[in-house]
Amino acid sequence: MALSFLRGMFQKNPVLSASEIEDVISNLLLEMVWIDGDAHEDEIKHVVHLLAMRYNSDDETVRRKIDGFKNVTQKDIEALAKQLRDNLKGRDRVMLLRDLWTIAKANGVADSYEQKLFHRVAHLLGITESEFLEKCIKI
């Protein structure tokens, strides 16, 4: 997905379509895979499974998103999270955080880059309750 498209969307809090929400979620999930500079095979498999099962993407679309993914900037992460905060219910934002954490842990350990991204996205999504975040991390 072209990030220029996303940047254009983030002007005035538009209501996103289901497809646009899926694209934004895909970018955050894929950023978790590559944040540490190493896309571990287990992390990629987990993203493919999540996007196919939870977010209803077909395998071809998921592979296309993975192949075309470019790391996002900090400003992009802020914009992506803001759009999700404005377009998702609280329980859906919580589920996204859990999905991000399970990707971070897919290779057995969440490194400092993955932990930092998780906490940053949680904060940007408006989920700051430390007790919840600790429970999420234990998953």
CATH code of the domain in which 99 resides? 1.10.3680.10
Each residue of 107-135: pLDDT tens digit? 888 999 999 999 999 999 998 777 666 66
Query: What is the Cα–Cα distance from 54 to 6, expressed in whole angstroms?
Result: 22
Q: Could you tell me the residue range of the domain that residue 57 belongs to?
A: 3-8+17-137
- Portion of the chain with pLDDT greater than 70, in percent: 84
| Res 73 pLDDT > 70 | yes
| Res 42 pLDDT > 80 | yes
| Res 10 pLDDT > 50 | no
Query: What is the Cα–Cα distance from 21 to 15, expressed in whole angstroms?
Result: 9
Tally of domains within the chain: 1
Q: pTM of the entire structure? A: 0.82
Query: What is the Cα–Cα distance from 38 to 65, expressed in whole angstroms?
Result: 17
Mean pLDDT of the chain: 84
Q: Do the beta carbons of residue 31 and residue 117 sit within 8 Å? A: yes
